[in-house]
C-alpha cells in the first residue's frame, strides 16, 4: 500500500487531509521517499491550500518572481492562529520594496541631451570602463573585460604601441596620422541611464560628475510588460498582507 501511495501524490495528500499538521510533519520522516515528496514544490502548494481552508490564511494564487511556495508557506504558517480569538502573530518586519518600471524610450527624444540641446559626453576612468563591460557581458574578471576593450580598440591603439615599442619619439607620435587615430580611440559615453537589467534587477547609470553608478532594486520590470506582470511583481504581496489583516 505504501508504494501505491508514494506513487500517487494526490492519494497521499487525500489521506493527509484527515491528519493535523503534527502528523503531516511526522509523515515526512517515515522514509526518504516520504521526505522528498512532502518537501516538493507541489507539496508546499498543497499545504498553503490546507492553511487557507483550515486556518483562513490567504495566499497569493501566483508565485512571485524569485520566490518559492516553501518560502511563502514558512512565512504564512507563523500566522496560522491569526483568526483565533486571544492569539497573536509574531510582529512582521517592516520592509520597503522598491520596484522600477522605466518609461519606454522615445526615438524622438533622448535623455542624453542637456538643456542646451547638446549631448553630455562622459569619459569614464579605466576601472569603471572595465566594470561597465563586466556588467554588460556578465564577465567574472577584469582580465576578460580588458581583452574586450583591446578588441574594441577605443582605449588603446597608438598609445599602446608607444608603450610596447618604447622607441617612438614624441615627434613621431604627433604626426597627423597619429592625431587622427587618437581622435578615434577617445571613448565617449552619454550621461543618463546606460542599461536596464531585468534579470538581475539592476540599473546602470552614467553620471557626468561621479561616473559609473549601479542601483539595485527588488524588481526591475522589462519593457514591454503586461499589467498582470506589474501587479505580481509589485502589488500582490501588499494585497496578501492586507487580506491577512496586516496594515
- The tens digit of pLDDT for each residue in 144-163 reads 888 887 777 655 555 555 54
pLDDT for 187 equals 45
Asked if pLDDT for residue 179 goes beyond 60, the answer is no
Asked if pLDDT for residue 44 goes beyond 70, the answer is yes
Contact between 130 and 124 under an 8 Å Cβ cutoff? The reply is no
Characterise 71 by phi-psi region: left (phi > 0), alpha (psi -120 to 50), beta (else).
alpha
Nine-digit cell at 152?
574594441
d(CA 165, CA 151): 19
Asked if pLDDT for residue 62 goes beyond 60, the answer is yes
Contact between 38 and 28 under an 8 Å Cβ cutoff? The reply is yes
Distance of CA 52 to the CA centre of its chain: 30
Q: Which residue has the higher pLDDT, 51 or 199?
A: 51
Q: What is the pTM of this model?
A: 0.62
Reduced to 3 DSSP states, what percent helix, strand and coil does the chain have, rounded to the nearest 5?
A: 45, 10, 45
**Where are the extended beta strands (E) located within the chain?**
99-100, 121-122, 189-190, 192-197, 202-207, 211-216, 219-220
Asked if pLDDT for residue 53 goes beyond 50, the answer is yes
pLDDT band at 76 (very low <50, low <70, confident <90, very high): very high
d(CA 15, CA 2): 12
Contact between 193 and 102 under an 8 Å Cβ cutoff? The reply is yes
Contact between 148 and 141 under an 8 Å Cβ cutoff? The reply is no
Amino acid at each position: 500500500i505504501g508504494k501505491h501511495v508514494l506513487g500517487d501524490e494526490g492519494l497521499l495528500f487525500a489521506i493527509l487531509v484527515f491528519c493535523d499538521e503534527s502528523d503531516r510533519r511526522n509523515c515526512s520522516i517515515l522514509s526518504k521517499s516520504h521526505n522528498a515528496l512532502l518537501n516538493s514544490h507541489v507539496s508546499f502548494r498543497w499545504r498553503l491550500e490546507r492553511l487557507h481552508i483550515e486556518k483562513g490564511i490567504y495566499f497569493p494564487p501566483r508565485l512571485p518572481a524569485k520566490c518559492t511556495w516553501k518560502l511563502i508557506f514558512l512565512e504564512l504558517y507563523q500566522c496560522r492562529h491569526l483568526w483565533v480569538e486571544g492569539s497573536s502573530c509574531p510582529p512582521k518586519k517592516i520592509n520597503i520594496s522598491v520596484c522600477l518600471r522605466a518609461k519606454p524610450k522615445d526615438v524622438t527624444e533622448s535623455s542624453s541631451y542637456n538643456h542646451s540641446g547638446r549631448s553630455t559626453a562622459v569619459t569614464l576612468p579605466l576601472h569603471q570602463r572595465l566594470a561597465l563591460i563586466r556588467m554588460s557581458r556578465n564577465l567574472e574578471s577584469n582580465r576578460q573585460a580588458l581583452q574586450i576593450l583591446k578588441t574594441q580598440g577605443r582605449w588603446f591603439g597608438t598609445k599602446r604601441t608607444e608603450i610596447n615599442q618604447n622607441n617612438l619619439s614624441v615627434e613621431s607620435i604627433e604626426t597627423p596620422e597619429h592625431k587622427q587615430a587618437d581622435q578615434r580611440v577617445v571613448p565617449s559615453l552619454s550621461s543618463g541611464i546606460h542599461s536596464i537589467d531585468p534579470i538581475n534587477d539592476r540599473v546602470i547609470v552614467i553620471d557626468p560628475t561621479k561616473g559609473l553608478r549601479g542601483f539595485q532594486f527588488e524588481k526591475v520590470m522589462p519593457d514591454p510588460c503586461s499589467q498582470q506582470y506589474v501587479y505580481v511583481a509589485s502589488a500582490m504581496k501588499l494585497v496578501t498582507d492586507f487580506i491577512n489583516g496586516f496594515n
